[in-house]
A and B are shown apart, each in its own frame.
Chain A
């Protein structure tokens, strides 16, 4: 089984999917990403799907699940580089990619993650006593 590499750039994890993934590879990526988010303390996940010539319901669901997992682990997910034909097909298929933020390219995706982080920090400013590594700072209302 092929494995999709995960790169760390600053506090962002970058995943560029370059292979036609089998379902198993997609599930593996989901698990690998969750582990890497926790291990690195990353606050953003950027998934580049420029090379994907289709996104079917399985991969679509994987992207949604990754976004949800990241959110629970205090990281923002942005999917970038969707091809126009893929977007048209996804909509017709009936897939809504719940909870996924998208951007046209990697650069804009990084800006989006940085902006989301700034918003969170503004809201968090008064509660910084929570301790640096004292478990997840529970945040019930801040993120959107």
Chain B
């Protein structure tokens, strides 16, 4: 899993079960290493991916994670898209508050993941599923 990542195109990992969250972490790690993120940035990105992939599974009822490289002309990075067609998030501000949870967790998944990446976009509405895109750039 750590060798032979095809950086040319997005890698997709289905998230249907617990073990898939582990696979997402391994895939993100492999791409982050290939793009030469620093060790701390790799760690932050993989941790954020772990939180968001778990959300996809637990709250979204499963979905897909796409991992790809990004290039803004100056820097390379890793972009990850988490998509599910679950119930969506009705109150986004509330969901992004530290400590808020509907699932019995610590309520740090969304808010914490946002702090760990450089760019964080969320597209969701009640009944419409959730799509989160995060990017981490090399320094």
Interface: B26 (CB within 8 A): yes
In the assembled complex, B11 has its CB within 8 A of some CB on chain A: no
Q: Is A56 touching B106 in the complex (CB atoms < 8 A)?
A: no
Q: Is there an interface contact between A94 and B51, defined as CB atoms closer than 8 Å?
A: no
A20 to B26, CA, bound (A): 9
Contact residues of B: prevailing secondary structure: helix
Q: Which residues of B contact A (CB under 8 A)?
A: 18-19, 21-22, 25-26, 29, 39-40, 42-44, 46-47, 50-51, 54, 98, 105-106, 108-109, 111-113, 115-116
Contact of A89 among B18, B47, B98, B106 (CB under 8 A): B47
Report yes or no: A95 in contact with B108, Cβ–Cβ below 8 A. yes
In Å, the complex CA distance between A98 and B115 comes to 20
Tell whether, in the assembled complex, residue B112 and residue A57 are in contact, meaning their CB atoms are under 8 Å apart: yes
User: In the complex, which residues of chain B have a beta carbon less than 8 angstroms from the beta carbon of A93?
Assistant: 47, 51, 108, 112-113, 115-116
Whether B43 lies near A23 (C-beta < 8 A) is no
- Number of A residues contacting the other chain (C-beta, 8 Å)? 23
Bound CA span A88–B98, Å: 18
Kindly report which residue of chain B lies nearest to residue A85, judged by CB atoms: B43
Which residues of the other chain, B, contact A128 by a CB distance below 8 angstroms?
none
A residues in contact (CB < 8 Å) with B: 20-24, 53-58, 60-61, 83-86, 88-89, 92-95
> Is B29 in contact with A53, judged by CB distance below 8 angstroms?
yes
Expressed in whole angstroms, the minimum distance between the Cβ of B29 and any Cβ of chain A is: 7
A83 CB contacts on chain B under 8 angstroms: 43
> Judging by beta carbons under 8 Å apart, are A61 and B112 in contact?
no
Q: Are A88 and B43 neighbours in the complex by a CB distance under 8 Å?
A: yes
> Which residues from B are CB-within-8-Å of A54?
25, 43, 46-47, 50
24 contacts between A and B (CB under 8 A): A20-B22, A22-B19, A23-B18, A23-B21, A53-B43, A54-B43, A56-B51, A56-B54, A57-B105, A57-B109, A58-B50, A61-B106, A85-B39, A85-B40, A85-B43, A86-B43, A88-B40, A88-B43, A88-B44, A89-B43, A89-B116, A92-B116, A94-B98, A95-B108
